[in-house]
Structure 1
Amino acid sequence: MDVRRLHAFAKVYELRSFSRAGEELLLSQPTISAHISALEDELDTQLFDRLGRTVLPTQAGDVLYRYCTTIFTQLDHAKADIMALSQRVAGELVIGGSTIPAHYIIPRLIARYAAAYPEVRLDLTGGDTSEIAQKVAEGTVHVGIIGAPAPYPELVSLPFLDDSLVLVAPTNLPPVSLDGPGWQDRLSQLPWIMREQGSGTRQTLDAALARAGIEMRMIAPVLVVHTSLAVLECVEAGLGVAAVSTLAARSYLERGGVVGLDVPGLDMRRSFYVVHHGKRYLFPALRYFLKTCGCV
């Protein structure tokens, strides 16, 4: 089976269009049609239904596409291993990062890695901790750095970097004591800005509050925000208090945009984790990225 024909088939399948597939592969539409026709003749089955301008895969087309993705991955791995024999590391590496790692940790890692292995094509994708863990489990991301261990048994979570959350407040917040008897009630009554469920920051905060005997139902957030930078901007604007990574808060604290609140009874230490799929092939580009992270 000709790999060029399989590439043409897969592109038509993904784009649902012969002409758009030709544009992406820099081939004419008649060439794409010829590749598909040759495959259909070889397999003695129809792979697509042509309904005017609409192209829909048949059941046989769905089956072939599933195998194509495996074939293309295996070919990439073979090429990478052969290059590794000559001390070359190449191919594509998709890196995922939850909010804090994607902004404050991964860029410097990528700079070191890219300098050492310039033939690797790098793709950085973001999301919260749960989203990145899911993408690694699904195989759409090769390696992730997230704010909590991955909740999938097939994923390997390697401790990478220690961090802690700090409670920040607007500069005009009236003085409040968060120590001594009743501090939990006073903390609960503050106007809170929260990260979304699924973020590593939120998981760390929820666990810290639970250890301190504070139930989440006692806190009514004034706002739920999906990035740490947006949280800090909301705090600086005077909307409320928030728990954020010290990595994210540092510049805001240094320039006086927000103030830190001391909460001795709240332990918000955590770690970041490098996660990868434990049952999938550690191809060279991934293996050397783990080495750059100090994980192998």
Structure 2
Amino acid sequence: MSDFRLKVFISVAKNLSFTKASKELFVSQPAITKHIQELETQYQVSLFERLGNRIKLTKAGEILLEHSERIIDDYKRLEYELNLLHNTHSGELRLGASTTISQYVIPALLACFLEKFPNVRLSLLSGNTREIESALAEHRIDLGVVEGIQRTTGMKYMPFMEDELVLITSTRSRLSRFDEISLYDLPGIPLVLRERGSGTLDVFESVLQQYAIKLSSLNVQMFLGSTESIKNYLEYSDCMGVVSIRALQQELTAGKFKIIELKEARINRQFCFVQHYGQEAGLASAFMQFASHNKKL
């Protein structure tokens, strides 16, 4: 029902590339160009500024992007709510979620989904991002929800929700005297981090690499397999840890932990649905729609 030209424009605007938009939407590059030209003709504006081999949004493009995303979201919600009137889902859905998501994000969604669709048999496998992707590849689950930045060939990744990783320490630690530190101070600070294969560590390591800091140069006292383990360890040590902001609501309210700001950057990441290419319908699709429309639970 929604205008496909807006989807094309959003893809080009997000990727700042006609070629990448073509691959993302499985549409030829001339067709991508044609859709953009039609929008520019319709609104009598230039949406992109050409800078050699690069492009950037014009002011008109920024305005159209803001409204286009809202329009597409409204269309999705309309279709979803109308479909709910005649859809009675049943069957088995095997979900897998990386540790942070399975502990702090998805439980409320699962409860509400089962309340809405009581004839669905639901199971949840928890593990780090690599483990969830392996389970999907081996067809032990139907849909994954992961937090890393690595991408596995043959799998399709779809954005779900935004997240932020933060540096924390116990309010009882001597390190709590800091309000802010530099990334370049990290080698001199004892750290507790998530294990190899976790999306949290992948994202943190990628930020370090942007500032030419090697993970091996850090003073990592321990790699632990869950955020809860990190929080429990930090309560009794003079260390800092990197965890999702979503895992800290109760502890921050209770005054147990303090967030230490990083001077150079905020560590933002995106949770994603992941499934095999071509797997577009069924309960997995129904759950993705439900979760996307109810992610503020």
Shorter-chain TM-score category?
0.5 to 0.7
Q: SS of 2:174's equivalent?
A: coil
Indicate how the Cα distance of structure 1 residues 243 and 188 shifts in structure 2: closer, same or farther if over 3 A, else same.
same
Match of 2:283 among 277, 281, 285: 285
Alignment of 1:60-209 (within 5 A): 87-149=87-149, 151-171=151-171, 172-174=173-175, 175-176=177-178, 178-179=180-181, 183-209=182-208
After superposition, the C-alpha distances for 1:271-294 in whole angstroms (9 at most, x for unaligned) are 1001111134x4532221122123
The runs of 4+ residues in structure 1 deviating greater than 4 Å are: 176-179
Indicate how the Cα distance of structure 1 residues 184 and 264 shifts in structure 2: closer, same or farther if over 3 A, else same.
closer
How far does residue 260 in structure 1 lie from its aligned partner after superposition?
Answer: 1.2
Q: Distance in 1 between matches of 2:118 and 2:95?
A: 16
Please name the residue that 2:252 is paired with. Answer: 253
How far does residue 229 in structure 1 lie from its aligned partner after superposition?
Answer: 0.8
Runs of 5+ unmatched residues, structure 1: 1-85
In the alignment, residue 100 of structure 2 is paired with which amino acid?
I
How far does residue 91 in structure 1 lie from its aligned partner after superposition?
Answer: 1.2
TM-score by length of 2: 0.65
Q: Distance in 1 between matches of 2:197 and 2:224?
A: 12
Please name the residue that 1:223 is paired with. Answer: 222
User: Paired residues, what number?
Assistant: 206
Q: Is the contact between residue 146 and residue 273 of structure 2 (CA under 8 Å) also seen in structure 1?
A: yes
Q: Distance in 1 between matches of 2:159 and 2:129?
A: 14
After superposition, the C-alpha distances for 1:87-127 in whole angstroms (9 at most, x for unaligned) are 43211101111111101111121122112211110001100
Q: Is the contact between residue 160 and residue 271 of structure 1 (CA under 8 Å) also seen in structure 2?
A: yes
Q: Is the contact between residue 150 and residue 202 of structure 2 (CA under 8 Å) also seen in structure 1?
A: no
Over alpha carbons, which structure has the higher Rg? 1
Q: Is the contact between residue 162 and residue 272 of structure 1 (CA under 8 Å) also seen in structure 2?
A: yes
Indicate how the Cα distance of structure 1 residues 223 and 133 shifts in structure 2: closer, same or farther if over 3 A, else same.
same
In the alignment, residue 90 of structure 1 is paired with which amino acid?
S
Alignment of 1:264-275 (within 5 A): 264-275=263-274
- Greater Cα shift, 147-156 or 243-252: 147-156
Please name the residue that 1:83 is paired with. Answer: none
Please name the residue that 2:292 is paired with. Answer: 294
Runs of 5+ unmatched residues, structure 2: 1-85
Q: Distance in 2 between matches of 1:211 and 1:151?
A: 19
Q: Is the contact between residue 156 and residue 275 of structure 1 (CA under 8 Å) also seen in structure 2?
A: yes
Indicate how the Cα distance of structure 1 residues 87 and 186 shifts in structure 2: closer, same or farther if over 3 A, else same.
closer
Q: Is the contact between residue 209 and residue 216 of structure 1 (CA under 8 Å) also seen in structure 2?
A: yes
Q: CA RMSD in A?
A: 1.9
Q: Is the contact between residue 163 and residue 271 of structure 1 (CA under 8 Å) also seen in structure 2?
A: yes
Q: SS of 1:224's equivalent?
A: strand
Q: Distance in 1 between matches of 2:282 and 2:185?
A: 53
Indicate how the Cα distance of structure 1 residues 211 and 150 shifts in structure 2: closer, same or farther if over 3 A, else same.
closer
In the alignment, residue 173 of structure 1 is paired with which amino acid?
R
Indicate how the Cα distance of structure 1 residues 258 and 87 shifts in structure 2: closer, same or farther if over 3 A, else same.
closer
Indicate how the Cα distance of structure 1 residues 186 and 114 shifts in structure 2: closer, same or farther if over 3 A, else same.
same
How far does residue 238 in structure 1 lie from its aligned partner after superposition?
Answer: 1.5
Structure with the higher fraction of residues in strand conformation:
2
How far does residue 129 in structure 1 lie from its aligned partner after superposition?
Answer: 0.8
In the alignment, residue 170 of structure 1 is paired with which amino acid?
S
TM-score by length of 1: 0.65
